[in-house]
Structure 1
Amino acid sequence: MNVTIYHNPACGTSRNTLAMIRNAGIEPTVIEYLQAPPSRQALEKMIADAGLTVRDALREKGTPYAELGLGEPTVSDERLIDAMMAHPILINRPFVVTPIGTRLCRPSERVLDILPDTHKGPFSKEDGEPVLDAKGKLIAGA
């Protein structure tokens, strides 16, 4: 299965998502989007395919969001995308694209919606929180 993750290795959610993809027996294409951001067209497509608004895909924490005045309700989607293109740190992460669908994987378990059911046994997040049981099935409440 062809899977692409727009990844930030400094982000725990992104690392957990990547590990879940690999736990499914898939070695994805990993794009470190801070060094190689998606094109405007690709970003707009990911946002639309994930069923999100542009604002839903915008990251505030640890970004120049406030300094750029992006919190004003009158800021257009076009201006938000312009800001994301100029400052890729504003793109929320991780986005994952598969033939099954596209998701912004926050929380990381959202990736399970777009992966085949081929998980190799149990999986726990970096912090020890269990996500999949010994049979590779989602644990209730995860």
Structure 2
Amino acid sequence: MKATIWHNPKCGTSRKTMAILQEAPGVELTVVEYLKNPPERAKLEQLYSDAGMTPQEGLRVRGSPAEELGLTNDSATADQILDAMAQEPSLINRPLVETEKGVRLCRPQDIVQEIL
């Protein structure tokens, strides 16, 4: 099974999720350090859609400029959030994992088991 993780090596949850993926038998893992290689807006839209979540639910508030950009108020639209994430990848909550079984925001890390 192929799996892709949008990973931040400074994040403990991301590291733990990656360890689960590396230890899972038969997983061919692709690691994308999304702060260095951010996903395009269309990819983000697809990931959130496949995860059954909104961009608002995937927005990282802590340690990001989300509040300063006005993205945490109720008037921020999904399009505004996706545009901002594409421009500033620190707004993307992590880790996102994609397999043929679906996409999950793996917080906590054990959620990754749902798509393995």
Q: Same fold (TM over 0.5)?
A: yes
* 1:35-114 equivalences in 2 (<5 Å): 35-114=36-115
The answer for unaligned runs of 5 or more in structure 1 is 116-142
Q: Alpha carbon RMSD of aligned pairs, Å?
A: 0.8
Q: Determine the C-alpha separation between the residues in 1 that align with 2:101 and 2:11.
A: 24
Higher-RCO chain (CA-CA 8 Å, sequence separation at least 6): 2
Q: Determine the C-alpha separation between the residues in 2 that align with 1:99 and 1:72.
A: 34
> Is 1:31 aligned with 2:32?
yes
Q: Deviations over 1:113-134 (max 9, x none)?
A: 011xxxxxxxxxxxxxxxxxxx
Q: Determine the C-alpha separation between the residues in 2 that align with 1:94 and 1:33.
A: 9
Aligned length: 115
Larger Rg belongs to: 1
Secondary structure of 2:98's partner? Answer: strand
In structure 2, do the counterparts of structure 1 residues 21 and 96 end up closer, same or farther at CA, with 3 Å as the change threshold? same
Q: Deviations over 1:49-80 (max 9, x none)?
A: 00001100100000001111112211111111
Q: Determine the C-alpha separation between the residues in 2 that align with 1:45 and 1:23.
A: 27
Residue identity over aligned pairs, in percent, reads 50
Query: What amino acid sits opposite 2:22 in the alignment?
Result: R
Instruction: Tell me which protein shows more helix as a share of its residues.
Output: 2
